[in-house]
Structure 1
Amino acid sequence: MQVKPSLKDKIRDAREKDSHLQKMKTKLQEGKNNQFIIQDDGMLLNGKRICVPDVEELRTKIMHEAHYAPYAMHPGSTKMYRDLRPYYWWPTMKKDVAEFVARCLTCQQVKAEHQATAGKLHPLTIPEWKWEKITMDFIVGLPRTFIKHDAIWVIVDRLTKSTHFLPIRQNDSLDKLAELYVSEIVRLHGTPTSIVSDRDPRFTSHFWGSLQRALGTKLHFSTAFHPQTDGQSERTIQTLEDMMRACVIEFRGNWDDHLPLMEFAYNNSFHSSVGMAPYEGLYERKCRSSICWDIEGLRQLEGPELVQQTVDKIQTVKKCLKAAQDRQKSYADKHRREMEYEVREKVFLKVSPWRGILRLGKQEKLSPRYIGPYEILERVGPLAYRLALPAELSQIHDVFHVSMLRRYRSDPSHILREPEIQVSEGLTYAEEPIEILDRSIKKLRNKEIPMVKVR
């Protein structure tokens, strides 16, 4: 990096206005300071570094050149400071560089965060009784079976972790799902007091809401694009998918033929969160299976003893759940940090690019990570915020988990533009090619694939 003559002249001329540099010069002339030297042209140096006076315009110009110039390409604060340090010096240089980079609008929109995820873990409250509070989710995109099932409705009791796996069709009407819910859940367990789910259109529909209000059930939805809210269903789905893969390999046939036994196996197996099998929490004992060949029968219990055993079992389940939640929170919070925002503060919103364009066999990664900034309208609970979204994002739920947000650091130089990308309801966006740069043909054994390089 070389100092332009015009900039060097400005630094020399402005030195007279900086009282700190004048004191350094006086001490140097009195022989009291060996750190600084004066060149023949009057330039004050700290070692080999030019001393920059306390003039905002000069310091900003130097930092702007080191950050925005084509040979700089928006370095981080540490890199930028290291690049400037061999050539320039002023007392608060490292702090000023860090603040300059933090306020760069482009960096705020495209740089990845290298900090712990925002938002400590807040577990859901432990229910008081079995099937009082439940969670639900769908597994979709499964191979279509002989009777045209291609999805599974997963419904889990938050206390005992007992689960129902209901085979359905993705295009089943809400009337059909409501009938299935009443016949398979309400018939066996009664009406729950609350349901936690994601924001699937079937769960947020007016029909489903009206049905649950009639049944006296409250609906609790996750924040937008934050499936961890219903982590119980997500984890159960992972286990079920593993069981289904094993079933397809071992037993062949349609997966819905084996689903009843998968449900039994899941509910009759040990669950670490409750410290027992879900059926044991639900029925006070595990159900008999082929491995129980040496058990002839169980001792008959009288009424009071049976009631006491049921109460004791529920207390055991609650203690195990509390211990599991504490353990999970302790582990999760090691990799998370507290983050709070104020109402009317502006924040960026994280997006995930959906890139369906093939560019010579590689996926592009050059789209912004964040859009906005948007104003916070209100705080919703300890970890969620409602944002003032523009009209083009009106189809997206406006409440977001704190981990989806990034604080906007304003600067008078910022020119805020509307994003040129079109964001979909899933908070993803597709890229469109601007022009064709090159063409090629990829030759395989039996065919040729035309390839197009675009930007």
Structure 2
Amino acid sequence: MNSNTYYSLIQFLTTLLLPVHLNKEQQAAIKQKSRYFVVIDEQLYKKNKSNPNRSLKVIKQDEIDDPQMFEDVRNYVKTCDKCQRHDKNRRVEPLHPIKIGQSFDRVGMDIVGPLPQTKDGNKYIVVATEYLTKWPEARAIPDAKATSIVSFFYEHIICRHGCPKETLTDRGTYFVNDMLNSLCDKFGVKHRLSTAYHPQTNGLVERFNRTLCETLAKFANENKNDWNLYVSTALFAYRTRKHNTTRHEPFYLMYGRKTILPIEFKVATSAMLNIGNDEQEDLLN
């Protein structure tokens, strides 16, 4: 990206005015390209600060010829206190492909906790991840009893996405019980269990568990007793972030379109410009 394009994007995103020195074709290109960028603190970039690799990768891919900006983003992420305390360098595990037909053919499910008890009495999170799109679902729950698991599986999976062909869990008593088996039998869901000697079989869910807990730790107060308030926020962030395996956002793979992020109501993008004023009012209300 040359400096002319760079500053044209900043001008358009901050003023909604296209540079007059550009011809109509160039103006259209700037308008189209703007959907992939936002201006924050007079810097042009997109991606959140919690993952420097993703932030820097986006800047590299779009060939922004500004070494200082690249270094600024790197230093900002490296010196973010919460990012350093909660983001951990992980060893990359080898991938073992699993054949999946379509979305929600297979759902992995797991329990996170016990966590610090919240003001609402929640101590656990029941988590499910869909294997094709990597779409996650989660709910804060007060206990790890079968009733809580069955309620989550019925309301968050079956009622929202339809009946999966199979669900994969570990051998904990909260999953191996008559209530969940009865629900699976009723709706034709095959309940598969990870082997006792290889519990990492459900690795997709376990990796999401780590990401979820790290995200909640950044949002929660010092007493860690309000983390349940941010489960939906953490889910939204994960669903709209490009996944390393699929190279797409789970939201895009699920719905076939890019999501409109909250920041795009404040920083105009082509996605928002294509929405009429009445539609924008409906979304805001």
In 2: Cα distance, 1:146 partner to 1:250 partner = 13
Match in the other structure for 2:11: none
1:219 alignment partner, one of 188, 191, 214: 191
Aligned Cα RMSD in Å? Answer: 2.2
Residues 1:239 and 2:211 aligned together:
yes
Match in the other structure for 1:159: 132
Corresponding letter in the other structure for 1:246: K
User: Is the contact made by 1:143 and 1:150 (CA closer than 8 Å) also made in structure 2?
Assistant: yes
Residues 1:134 and 2:112 aligned together:
no
1:15-54 aligned within 5 A = none
Corresponding letter in the other structure for 1:219: H
In 2: Cα distance, 1:264 partner to 1:150 partner = 21
Residues 1:189 and 2:161 aligned together:
yes
User: Is the contact made by 2:116 and 2:225 (CA closer than 8 Å) also made in structure 1?
Assistant: no
Match in the other structure for 2:12: none
**Structure 2: which 5+ residue stretches go unaligned?**
1-93, 276-285
Q: Which has the higher strand share?
A: 1
In 1: Cα distance, 2:109 partner to 2:239 partner = 16
Whichever of the two has the greater Rg, that structure is 1
Deviation for aligned residue 1:248:
2.2
Change (3 A) 1:225 1:140: farther
Deviation for aligned residue 1:141:
1.4
1:175 alignment partner, one of 127, 136, 147: 147
Residue by residue over 1:246-288, the C-alpha shift from the partner in whole angstroms, topping out at 9 and shown as x without a partner, is 1126997600111111111111111111111110100112321
Q: Which has the higher helix share?
A: 2
In 2: Cα distance, 1:194 partner to 1:270 partner = 25
Q: Given the two structures, how large is their TM-score scaled by the length of structure 2? A: 0.58
User: Is the contact made by 1:133 and 1:195 (CA closer than 8 Å) also made in structure 2?
Assistant: yes
In 2: Cα distance, 1:122 partner to 1:195 partner = 20
User: Is the contact made by 1:140 and 1:170 (CA closer than 8 Å) also made in structure 2?
Assistant: no
User: Is the contact made by 1:227 and 1:234 (CA closer than 8 Å) also made in structure 2?
Assistant: no
Q: Given the two structures, how large is their TM-score scaled by the length of structure 1? A: 0.37
1:254 alignment partner, one of 222, 226, 229: 226
In 2: Cα distance, 1:259 partner to 1:251 partner = 17
Change (3 A) 1:152 1:252: closer
**Structure 1: which 5+ residue stretches go unaligned?**
1-120, 300-455
Deviation for aligned residue 1:226:
2.0
Deviation for aligned residue 1:178:
1.8
Corresponding letter in the other structure for 1:227: P
Match in the other structure for 1:296: 272
What's the % identity of the aligned pairs?
25
Match in the other structure for 1:266: 238
Residues 1:204 and 2:176 aligned together:
yes
User: Is the contact made by 1:126 and 1:158 (CA closer than 8 Å) also made in structure 2?
Assistant: no
Between Structure 1 and Structure 2, how many residues are aligned? Answer: 178
Match in the other structure for 1:280: 252
Residue 104 of structure 2: SS of its match in structure 1? Answer: coil
Change (3 A) 1:130 1:137: same
Deviation for aligned residue 1:202:
1.8
In 2: Cα distance, 1:124 partner to 1:181 partner = 25
1:344-355 aligned within 5 A = none
Residue by residue over 1:96-152, the C-alpha shift from the partner in whole angstroms, topping out at 9 and shown as x without a partner, is xxxxxxxxxxxxxxxxxxxxxxxxx78353311111211010101101111111000
Change (3 A) 1:250 1:148: closer
Residue 135 of structure 1: SS of its match in structure 2? Answer: strand
Residue 192 of structure 2: SS of its match in structure 1? Answer: strand
Q: Which has the higher contact order (CA 8 A, sep 6+)?
A: 2
Residue 204 of structure 1: SS of its match in structure 2? Answer: coil
